[in-house]
Amino acid sequence: MASIFSKIIEGSIPSVKIDETENEIAFLDIMPCAEGHTLIVPKKEVERFEDMDPQDTASLMVFLHRIAKAVSSAFGGVDYNVILNNGVQAGQEVMHVHYHIIPRTERSSRMFGNRKNASTEELQKTAEQIRKFLN
């Protein structure tokens, strides 16, 4: 079944588009976390980031870079978060890869409030676990 983003891409659901290329589209989030909250979406419907074709990923990153710069500039060079929620447990609500660009101000809440110190041993163990899966 087509995601809501695929329906936006095909034009059957309206959106406030910022820009698009042959492979990507940027539009404003209809439930923004902040003014200027923009979504960056590949036109090819893929649920998870790691399942994207590497060439499509590279193209998406170039587009994301261009749009993020414009969003920041539009609000006077404001700071911003670039967020990918990859999977339900990470908060992904639309099962179609998408990045959020969320402008931040001095009054914005901090995103990483639950941090804790990890020992070098814990970090080494985690790094080793991840390295096993590098191709």
> Any residues with CB less than 8 A from the CB of 67 and at least 6 apart, and which?
18, 19, 26, 38, 40, 101
Facing residues of 115 across strands? Answer: none
User: What is the model's pLDDT at position 113?
Assistant: 62
User: What is the model's pLDDT at position 112?
Assistant: 65
CATH number, domain containing residue 22: 3.30.428.10
The domain of 11 spans 4-131
List the catalytic residues: 98
Residue-wise pLDDT tens digits, 120-135 = 988 788 878 878 887 7
Give the strands of the sheet with 24-28, arranged side by side: 17-20, 24-28, 38-42, 99-104, 79-84
User: What pTM value is reported for the model?
Assistant: 0.88
Residue-wise pLDDT tens digits, 99-116 = 999 999 877 777 666 677
Residue-wise pLDDT tens digits, 13-65 = 999 999 999 999 999 999 998 999 999 999 999 999 999 999 999 999 999 99
- CA–CA distance, 72 with 66 (Å, rounded to integer): 10
User: What is the model's pLDDT at position 107?
Assistant: 76
Question: Helix H segments across 34-107?
Answer: 54-74
**Residue positions counted in the chain:** 135
Number of structural domains in the chain: 1
User: What is the model's pLDDT at position 21?
Assistant: 97
User: What is the model's pLDDT at position 9?
Assistant: 97
- CA–CA distance, 30 with 32 (Å, rounded to integer): 6
